[in-house]
Amino acid sequence: MLHSILKTYFSLVDSFPRRSTGVTPSWTPPPSGWIKINCDAALNDAGSAIACVARNDKADIVRWEARRIHLCSPLVAEALALDMTIKMAVQANWRYICLVSDSKVVIEALQDRSSVSPWSVSSILDNCKLNVCNFTAYAFVFSPRAANFLAHNLARWCLHFCTSSQGLLSLPPSVCSDTEEWFV
């Protein structure tokens, strides 16, 4: 029931007309008791990396993950990032989750706004839909890159410095920015 209420709420919010305010979007904390997990992918000619960062309502980083994956399309990498994010949240046994990505195609497919998922990611997104049943309440939210910098920076860092699919052992401070893109 709570999921259907949240789904209705988010669809109403998304339907409001938007005006440009000249203000750059930024990361905002989730409601009290929720975990907000931003995810992203990074690609270059040599491979791909995915990352996710979970924060609580006080904006504290409570968990993160980043790893190299096989070279794939940006859409597949974004879908794999969200799949990793959901699996991390299930493993952590979190119940109230806000799942955020800057991939509008992936988010809209998961919000049931797209009747058919792109075939290249349909099995990944089906897996995501199956795994969110472990949560008491969840929301899939699209966020522009400017409000997703930490996950984006972590994916880019991993793309350049992770040597395997094991990911990073510690979170580099130079990557931890909500307002600036990290460059090599």
pLDDT digits (tens, 9 = 90+) for 22-64: 556 788 899 999 999 999 999 998 889 999 999 999 999 899 9
63 CB contacts (<8 Å, ≥6 apart)? 54, 88, 92
pTM: 0.81
Cα dihedral 79, 88, 11, 4 sign: positive
DSSP at 31? P
Lowest mean pLDDT among 16-25, 57-66, 110-119, 130-139: 16-25
Average pLDDT over residues 74-88: 96
Residue type, 154: L
pLDDT of 13 strictly over 60: no
Highest mean pLDDT among 19-23, 79-83, 150-154: 79-83
Torsion of CA 178, 21, 14, 109, to 10 degrees: -50
- H/E run at residue 165: none
